Structure 1
């Protein structure tokens, strides 16, 4: 997975952190959690606030 794989990242994050308060998650925590995913291959410095927000929104949609 890479930064642009928002749906796949949302599913993986939900499986790894099912009790997370996604609506109030800090981007620093989200960034770290993504980097910790075993299938994530993206470069840490390639993320941005917009990318992290898109992943967060996809994760919120996954929870609904």
Structure 2
């Protein structure tokens, strides 16, 4: 899984952290949790604020 697979990342984060409110996650934790996902394999340097915003929004949509 790569940084561009925002929807899949959001689904896996929702499954991995069911008790977390995604609106309250800071970007440092979001990045670390994404990189810790079992299927994730991408360079941390390819991640930026826009990607993290997209992941966070997709996660919010996933649990709504």
TM-score range relative to shorter protein: over 0.9
3-state DSSP of counterpart to 2:2 = coil
Aligned length: 64
Q: Any unmatched runs of 5+ in structure 1?
A: none
Provide the residue aligned with 1:15 in structure 2.
Answer: 15
Q: Any unmatched runs of 5+ in structure 2?
A: none
What is the RMSD of the two structures over their aligned residues, measured on CA atoms? 0.5
In the TM superposition, structure 1's runs of 4+ consecutive aligned residues that sit over 4 Å from their partners are none
Provide the residue aligned with 1:56 in structure 2.
Answer: 56
The CA deviation string for residues 8-61 of structure 1, in whole angstroms up to 9 with x for no partner, is 000000010011121011000000000000000111111000000000000000
Provide the residue aligned with 1:24 in structure 2.
Answer: 24
Report the TM-score, using the length of structure 2 for normalisation. Answer: 0.97
Report the TM-score, using the length of structure 1 for normalisation. Answer: 0.97
Q: In structure 2, what is the Cα distance between the partners aligned to 1:43 and 1:20?
A: 25
